[in-house]
Amino acid sequence: MRIRGVIFVFFASMAAMTVACERRSSGPQDTTGEILVGMYGSLTGDGASFGQSSVEGAQLAVEEVNNAGGVLGGRKIRLLVEDDQSRPEEASSAVTKLITQNKVVAVLGEVASRRTLAAAPVAQKYKIPLITPASTNERVTQVGDYIFRVCFIDPFQGEVLAKFAYNDLKARRVAVLKDIQQDYSVGLTDSIQKTFTGLGGKVFDPVSYSSGDADFRAILTQVRAQKPYAIFATGYYPEAAIIVRQARELGMSMPILGGDGWVGDALKNGREALKNTFISNHYSGQNPDPIVQNFRTAYRAKFNREPDSIAALGYDAAKVLADSITRAGTTEGPKVRDAIAAANVAGVTGQLRMNPSRDVVKPAVIEELQFADGDVKYVYRATINPN
Amino acid sequence: MSLGRKIAVITGTVATLLALNYVFEYGVGDFQINPYYARIINLIGINITLAVSLNLINGLTGQFSIGHAGFMAVGGYTATYLTVYHGRQIAALAGSTTADPLGAAIVMVPSLIAGAAAAAVAGLLVGIPSLRLKGDYLAIVTLGFSEIIRVIILNIPAVGGATGFTDAIPITNFFWIFSMAVLTVVITRNIATSTFGRALFAIRSDEIAAEAMGINTTRNKVMAFVVSAALAGVAGGLSGQLFANPLNPQNLNFVKSIEVIVMIVLGGIGSITGAVLGATILTILPEALRTFDQQFPGLRMVIYALLLILLMIFRPQGLLGRREFSWAWLRPLRRRAVLE
Amino acid sequence: MDTFLQQFINGLSLGAIYALIALGYTMVYGVLRLINFAHGDVYMLGAFAGYYLANSLNLDANPSILGAVLVTMGAMAICAGIGIVIERFAYRPVRHHSRLTSLITAIGVSLLLEYGGQVVFGATPRFFPQMISSRTYSLGGVQITNQSLMIIVVSIVMMFGLEFIVHRTRIGKAMRAVSYNLPVARLMGINTDMVIAFTFALGSALAAVAGVLVALSIPRIDPLMGLMTGLKAFVAAVLGGIGSIPGAMLGGMLIGLMETWISATSYSTYRDAMAFAVLILILLFRPAGILGTSVTEKV
């Protein structure tokens, strides 16, 4: 009697296999018609706010490219967006689908390094170029030569911030608040610690919080007791705004420093507390450069809100891709990959050139923040060039 | 079943799985398995193991555990840790490397065993204190343990912390996933038809009466917990070492446990085939709903939540209730139905 | 000493929030034996309701106490309504099913509110407008904002109000009767459906107050904010003794203090896990909670 069950299962699995089969050799590539570009990001789940920003930035860029006539002789780019629900395994499924089902020619995404690290091996395996707008963990581009990024890597930004604090602010004892749920923050913290201690300063043990936290008074009180000269808050803008406010409420008036993750509309909720804070940046809404201002205006018109740094990076990633496809003259993976490696594009977040590790090389600026007229003002302090 | 027949069945199953695995990896002639569907099929297999193992506690024993993700995490991380840090040595014992299929297979065995063992220990640690509790409280305590495990893993840099265990070596393949799925089903079915299983059913029906009848409820419950946890650990080890599928503590959380629960609830709590069915449907469904996401991002998960509520209101017994589907299992069930 | 006092104040104001939410959990559990997983998300909806109301009253530009009160009452009304709707359409149909079914339904509602919130409100966190100008008082080395003070005071007032309702009014008596024995209460002529609806409304209104208060002092709100907070508030309710109103208050304060204390050590990332560790210990050694009464089960 069990044989019946076994045979049933056998045929069921055979049927499933047949359904899942496909012919191995794919036909000649489509040389006319739309160019399909895949994008994966967190549209739901705890990464959703940044996921949405990155997608919006990319969508704006694609729209602009198409309105200007498309690429490769008038072909329009179509951006296929897949949600990964803020989960690494979904990121892999989404990218697998985009590459093997939708046959996209390139992939954009993701923001969180842990999701990019999960999905990048898929792109590398199928030799489809992948550009991440905002994953800062060093290991992302080490996955393979088809993986690129248009953002700082943690070590660089950490160096920038640590040097500024040590040399310009003359800080010798600092405390660090890190967001343990964000690889960006953890990586930046490690890098700051390394550089600052290397310069001869003292870094107290980093104090951790989680993104989504809204009450930092307990940890800030502990930091206050350590009497640091300056504090680093290496997480993203929603928490940064509150950290700054609550720190000042607790009577802590020392300089507070952060990375490019601080740039976001919600930062203005830090209000007057933002006095005496500094960030390292590549995108500043106040930069009078027409590239930046045009981006801001267009983004505001389309999405009805201020772009944050993640949106700017999403925009730049898409622009670099479009530019590379044009230079490559084709949509074939290897050729596009080579074109990206040779990219030199004026982006919203700086002049984008790839170094041999496929990380973008661009200077960082240090800006001092102020709160005036109900908004955040960024005052230029210094430029740090990558060496 | 006689020993000879047993051996024949086992050999036959293994051979079939190996053949299917070959087709999976390398294709046949000009045909290959579409990688996207292949991934879904692999995920179905892992979810079957998870669902059927959870069913052992929630379905057969009638307890309510929502901490399954924690056991998956413990087992998965242990298994992956072993492969990553000692895999080369193990493979070298057979004169091979982890990149080679044979080497990978050789490493998989101790890896999964380690994962199962670690998860079993976790099951013991969770089970002994918790199983004095009833219903809702047990649920919350298992949830609590699972969250504690998750937070601990988040703070261990050696296994990746918040970034996830991306160092994992992808040695999982179709063969391992489905042989473990088959094993889980067989183990659970054998338990269900054994004296141990009868004790579990008795506990499910009326725990106090069972105790009065002389069944050591705590010992049986803990046993069920341990077996269930061990199998979840195996699923974790398989999942974490699947290509492009690193373990991540953020996602081995409460929501993941709930997803496994929904699988067995959909299929019918207490039904093994139901669990298989539920796992299959709920792995395919979110992928099938992707087109929805294009138009209305985020709506997919809203629909998922709605389905859950409607399912509870209109068909809380799930698709199969407590019944099993296959012919071979009907006869003993009919007898059981008479007794109940 | 400064630091200790500061942390104490921090803990109290955090605890007061948990206490407010825990009150709702404890009431619903007392009456229905149901862990209303969606309660934390009602708290989130309260914060959002307050957000939209405060913006429509343009309070950011003109902070005022009156405005704040109006917003709070508005949020309470909206959430009470939501609570009643949830009870009527999601929980009542499964009331006669097993506890497991009710629990899963509650989880479903919670997920629906969270994901639905992300779709409707967008996932980007919003910042609550300042309804009352912020002021910090300094006592020795300790800083406390007027919002933290308000949170503590308001929750204590709410607790007394709740005690009054439950012990000094007829509807309160009906609630207690239903919590002792639902079928018999119905036989005694109590409209149990209405009493249960009222319980949900009351609990949800309290959650709304918590939402608005929290949003005042910690202005960031997003659709997922209720998940962890709700779970911890549930732990607080169990700690204090589920079904006991002063217990919920006590439990909330204790959890708040413990969490603050843990955050202050170098184990701050284990903060969330700590709440669960406390829960497990309590359930092992004193399952009735601190102020709860031990109920012997009749077989």
Q: pLDDT (tens digit, 9 = 90+) per residue, A85-105?
A: 888 989 999 999 999 989 999
Average confidence (pLDDT) over B128-152: 83
Q: Are the beta carbons of B264 and B272 closer than 8 angstroms?
A: no
Cβ-nearest to C269 among A43, A52, A208: A208
- Closest CA–CA distance from residue C141 to any residue of chain B (Å): 33
B136/C118 touch (CB, cutoff 8 Å), yes or no: no
Residue B332 pLDDT grade (very low, low, confident, very high; cuts 50, 70, 90): low
The pLDDT value given to residue A9: 66
Q: Please name the helix (run of DSSP H) or strand (run of DSSP E) that holds residue A379, with its range, or none.
A: strand A375-384
ipTM of the complex: 0.84
Q: Does residue C246 have a pLDDT over 80? A: yes
Q: Does residue B340 have a pLDDT over 60? A: no
The pLDDT value given to residue B229: 96
User: What is the average pLDDT score of chain C?
Assistant: 85
C-alpha B257 chain-centroid distance = 11
C115/A249 touch (CB, cutoff 8 Å), yes or no: no
Position with higher pLDDT, B108 vs C2: B108
Instruction: Determine the Cα–Cα distance for residues C162 and C202; give it in Å rounded to an integer.
Output: 9
Q: Does residue B62 have a pLDDT over 50? A: yes
Cβ within 8 Å of residue B134, ≥6 positions away: none
Average confidence (pLDDT) over A155-177: 91
Average confidence (pLDDT) over A183-207: 91
The pLDDT value given to residue C299: 60
Q: Does residue C103 have a pLDDT over 80? A: yes
Quickly count: other Cβ atoms within 10 Å of residue C176's Cβ.
16
Best mutation target among A10, A23, A89, A97 (most B Cβ atoms within 10 Å) is: A89
Residues of chain B contacting C280 with CB distance shorter than 8 Å: 129-130, 141, 144-145
Q: Closest-CA residue in chain C for A204?
A: C266
Instruction: Determine the Cα–Cα distance for residues C248 and C263; give it in Å rounded to an integer.
Output: 22
Share of chain B above pLDDT 70, in %: 93
The pTM score is 0.87
Q: Does residue A36 have a pLDDT over 90? A: yes
Ramachandran region, residue B318 (left: φ > 0; alpha: ψ -120 to 50; beta: rest): left
Average confidence (pLDDT) over A271-297: 83
- Closest CA–CA distance from residue B43 to any residue of chain A (Å): 10
Most confident of B72-86, C13-27, C137-151: B72-86
Cβ-nearest to B129 among C109, C112, C284: C284
Q: Which residues of A36-63 are buried (b: 16+ CB within 10 A; e: fewer)?
A: bbbbbbbbbbbbbbbbbbbbbbbbbbbb
What pLDDT digit, counting tens, does each position of B92-104 carry? 777 777 777 788 8
Note whether B143 contacts C: Cβ–Cβ < 8 A.
Answer: yes
How many domains does the structure of chain C reveal? 1
Q: Are the beta carbons of A363 and A384 closer than 8 angstroms?
A: yes
Q: Which of C218, C49, C207, C59 is closest to C121 using CA atoms?
A: C49
Residues of chain A contacting B248 with CB distance shorter than 8 Å: 87-89, 114, 118
Residue C35 pLDDT grade (very low, low, confident, very high; cuts 50, 70, 90): confident
Average confidence (pLDDT) over B23-30: 79
Domain membership of residue C298 (yes or no) is: no
Note whether C145 contacts A: Cβ–Cβ < 8 A.
Answer: yes
A21/B34 touch (CB, cutoff 8 Å), yes or no: yes
What pLDDT digit, counting tens, does each position of B219-275 carry? 899 999 999 999 999 999 999 999 989 999 888 988 899 889 889 988 888 888 899
Q: Are the beta carbons of B149 and B68 closer than 8 angstroms?
A: no
Q: Does residue A3 have a pLDDT over 60? A: no
E-strand ranges in A118-255 read 130-132, 147-149, 173-179, 202-203, 207-209, 230-233
Q: Does residue A234 have a pLDDT over 60? A: yes
B34/A20 touch (CB, cutoff 8 Å), yes or no: yes
| Domain coverage including residue C207 | 2-127+142-285
Residues of chain C contacting B150 with CB distance shorter than 8 Å: 273
The pLDDT value given to residue C138: 78
Q: Does residue B43 have a pLDDT over 90? A: yes
Note whether C137 contacts A: Cβ–Cβ < 8 A.
Answer: no
Average confidence (pLDDT) over A286-294: 81
C-alpha angle B119/B121/B125, rounded to 5°? Answer: 115
Structure tokens at C263: 């955050």
Interface partners of chain B (CB pairs < 8 Å, 3 or more) are: A, C
Residue A57 pLDDT grade (very low, low, confident, very high; cuts 50, 70, 90): very high
Position with higher pLDDT, B175 vs C60: B175
Share of chain A above pLDDT 90, in %: 42
Quickly count: other Cβ atoms within 10 Å of residue C277's Cβ.
19
Note whether B261 contacts C: Cβ–Cβ < 8 A.
Answer: yes
C3/A214 touch (CB, cutoff 8 Å), yes or no: no
Q: How far is CA C182 from CA C33, C176, C221, in A?
A: 11, 10, 38
Instruction: Determine the Cα–Cα distance for residues B322 and A369; give it in Å rounded to an integer.
Output: 64
- Write phi, then psi, for B126 (nearest 5 degrees): -80, -40
Residue C113 pLDDT grade (very low, low, confident, very high; cuts 50, 70, 90): very high
B248/A4 touch (CB, cutoff 8 Å), yes or no: no
The pLDDT value given to residue A78: 93
Q: Are the beta carbons of A320 and A337 closer than 8 angstroms?
A: no
Residue A108 pLDDT grade (very low, low, confident, very high; cuts 50, 70, 90): very high
Q: Does residue C174 have a pLDDT over 60? A: yes
Position with higher pLDDT, C103 vs A148: A148
Average confidence (pLDDT) over A344-354: 88
Best mutation target among A176, A203, A220, A221 (most C Cβ atoms within 10 Å) is: A221
What pLDDT digit, counting tens, does each position of B196-212 carry? 999 999 988 888 899 89
Q: Does residue C266 have a pLDDT over 70? A: no
Q: Does residue B333 have a pLDDT over 60? A: no
Q: Which domains does chain A have, with CATH numbers?
A: 30-152+289-354 (3.40.50.2300), 154-281+365-384 (3.40.50.2300)
Average confidence (pLDDT) over C89-96: 89
Position with higher pLDDT, B18 vs A215: B18
Question: Which residues partner with A79 through β-bridges?
Answer: A37
Domain membership of residue C295 (yes or no) is: no
Q: Are the beta carbons of A104 and A128 closer than 8 angstroms?
A: yes
User: What is the average pLDDT score of chain A?
Assistant: 86
Residue A270 pLDDT grade (very low, low, confident, very high; cuts 50, 70, 90): confident
Q: Domain of C259: which CATH number?
A: 1.10.3470
Average confidence (pLDDT) over B291-305: 75
Average confidence (pLDDT) over A273-280: 90
Cβ-nearest to C115 among A44, A52, A249: A44
Domain membership of residue C137 (yes or no) is: no
Radius of gyration of chain B (CA): 20
Share of chain C above pLDDT 70, in %: 95
Q: Does residue A246 have a pLDDT over 70? A: yes
Q: Are the beta carbons of B17 and B224 closer than 8 angstroms?
A: no
Residue C99 pLDDT grade (very low, low, confident, very high; cuts 50, 70, 90): confident
Residue C294 pLDDT grade (very low, low, confident, very high; cuts 50, 70, 90): low
Best mutation target among B140, B211, B310 (most C Cβ atoms within 10 Å) is: B140
Q: Which residues of A183-217 are buried (b: 16+ CB within 10 A; e: fewer)?
A: bbbbbbbbbbbebbeeeebebbebbbbbbbbbbbb
Position with higher pLDDT, C51 vs C31: C51
- Closest CA–CA distance from residue A314 to any residue of chain C (Å): 16
**Cβ neighbourhood burial of A227 (10 Å; 0-12, 13-18, 19+):** exposed
The pLDDT value given to residue A7: 60
SS3 B170: coil
The pLDDT value given to residue A45: 76
Q: Which of B150, B184, B192, B193 is closest to B279 using CA atoms?
A: B184
What pLDDT digit, counting tens, does each position of A44-56 carry? 777 887 888 999 9
Note whether A241 contacts C: Cβ–Cβ < 8 A.
Answer: yes
Note whether B9 contacts C: Cβ–Cβ < 8 A.
Answer: no
Residue A1 pLDDT grade (very low, low, confident, very high; cuts 50, 70, 90): very low
Domain membership of residue C227 (yes or no) is: yes
